[in-house]
Structure 1
Amino acid sequence: MLFANDTEWSLRAAVALINTAEEPDTLTNVAELDAWFEQHNFSGRHDSDAAELEALRALRPVLRELLTSDRDHAAGLVNRLLADAQALPQLKRHDGLDWHIHAVPLDAPLDRRVAVEAAMAMIDVIRADELSRLSVCVDGHCECLVLDLSRNRSRRYCSTTCANRNAVAAYRARGKRADT
């Protein structure tokens, strides 16, 4: 394991939230918000309304900037997000989870909790100088983020769809070269 479980969980949730903005946008209604919330096992307050949906949609470019910035800029963004949220890190144990860090109350708005969770995760990434674990998908038609937690740092695509599209294109290109 490269990072603590809560760090990996927060990074996965942040990347998934950011990637909902790519075409087609998959965070356009409350039902999609509810599905994202459930998929990423958030606990605490969930208003499940249009205001919460819009707040999370507005957070996506902020998180994208955070996860794609260089180390110094990312550190400044982390500090700003934590200060804006008046974060106070504390160890918590709940819902069958062992000790992990929460920096805002569980009844804080979801967008604030997501921003702080991502900022706290980025503290570990920055301190370990592991920003190379975050990148943009190498598929030329995709702008999604990739979180590479593999041991050998080999993940280049955001999904099997992008990986398969590129494998097929490479196969066809090899076939054309063989025919000439």
Structure 2
Amino acid sequence: MVFAHDTEVALASAAALVNTAHGDDQLAAADGLADFVREWQWSGAVTGDDAELAAVRRLRPELEAWWRCDRDELVDRVNDVLRRTHALPQLIRHDGWDYHLHATPPDAPLADRMAVEAAMAMVDVIRADEIARLQVCAADDCDDVLVDLTKNRSRRFCSTGCSNRTNVAAFRARRRQT
């Protein structure tokens, strides 16, 4: 394990949230957000209204930028989120999870909770100097982001679909040359 379990989940959730905007927008409607919240087991208040959906949709490009900036810029962006949301880290235990960090109250807006969870995870990434683990999919036709949590830092693709498509294309190109 590279990071604490809650950090890994928060990083994966942030990447998944960013990727909902690529291709068919998975958060085009409130039911898509409800599915995302359920899949990633977000605790706390969820209103399910259009304002909440709009706030979460606005968060996606902000988080995506985190994958594309250098360490110092990432520090500035993370600190901005923590200041803006008045984050106050606390150890919490709930829903079968042992103690882990929460930095917002459960009734804070969902988009704020998502931003702070991602920011707190990025704090661990920055402190461990592991920014290289934040990547963009290596497939030419994919802009999804990913978090490489492999021991040997070998993950290049967001999914097996992108990996397979790229490898098959490379194989076919080699066959054409011979």
Q: TM-score, normalised by structure 1?
A: 0.96
The one-letter code of the counterpart of 1:134 is: L
Given that 2:137 and 2:146 are in contact with CA atoms closer than 8 Å, whether structure 1 keeps it comes out as yes
Q: Note the 1:7-86 alignment, pairs <5 A.
A: 7-86=7-86
The one-letter code of the counterpart of 1:45 is: A
The one-letter code of the counterpart of 2:42 is: F
* Partners of 1:97 and 1:159 in 2: CA distance: 27
In the other structure, the counterpart of 2:127 is 127
The count of residues paired between Structure 1 and Structure 2 equals 178
The one-letter code of the counterpart of 1:67 is: W
The one-letter code of the counterpart of 2:93 is: R
* Partners of 1:59 and 1:50 in 2: CA distance: 14
- The percent of aligned pairs where both chains have the same amino acid is 52
State the 1:66 CA deviation: 2.1
Name the SS for the 1:99 alignment partner: strand
* Partners of 1:31 and 1:66 in 2: CA distance: 27
Given that 2:20 and 2:27 are in contact with CA atoms closer than 8 Å, whether structure 1 keeps it comes out as yes
Does the alignment pair 1:150 with 2:150? yes
Unaligned runs of 5+ in 2: none
* Partners of 2:60 and 2:162 in 1: CA distance: 21
After TM superposition, the runs of 4+ consecutive aligned structure 1 residues lying more than 6 A away are: none
The one-letter code of the counterpart of 2:17 is: L
Given that 2:12 and 2:146 are in contact with CA atoms closer than 8 Å, whether structure 1 keeps it comes out as no
* Partners of 2:67 and 2:8 in 1: CA distance: 13
Q: TM-score, normalised by structure 2?
A: 0.97
* Partners of 1:14 and 1:67 in 2: CA distance: 10
State the 1:14 CA deviation: 0.4
Deviates more, 1:64-73 or 1:110-119: 64-73
For residues 20-51 of structure 1, give each alpha carbon's deviation from its aligned partner in whole angstroms, at most 9, with x where no partner exists: 11122211011111111111111111111211
State the 1:81 CA deviation: 0.3
In the other structure, the counterpart of 2:162 is 162
In the other structure, the counterpart of 1:114 is 114
* Partners of 2:89 and 2:9 in 1: CA distance: 17
For residues 104-151 of structure 1, give each alpha carbon's deviation from its aligned partner in whole angstroms, at most 9, with x where no partner exists: 101111000000000000000000000110111111111110111011
* Partners of 2:47 and 2:10 in 1: CA distance: 20
Deviates more, 1:108-117 or 1:88-97: 88-97
In the other structure, the counterpart of 2:101 is 101
For residues 65-102 of structure 1, give each alpha carbon's deviation from its aligned partner in whole angstroms, at most 9, with x where no partner exists: 12332111111111110000001111111112111111
The one-letter code of the counterpart of 1:86 is: H
Name the SS for the 2:149 alignment partner: coil
Deviates more, 1:123-132 or 1:169-178: 169-178
For residues 131-173 of structure 1, give each alpha carbon's deviation from its aligned partner in whole angstroms, at most 9, with x where no partner exists: 1101111111111101110111111011111111101101111
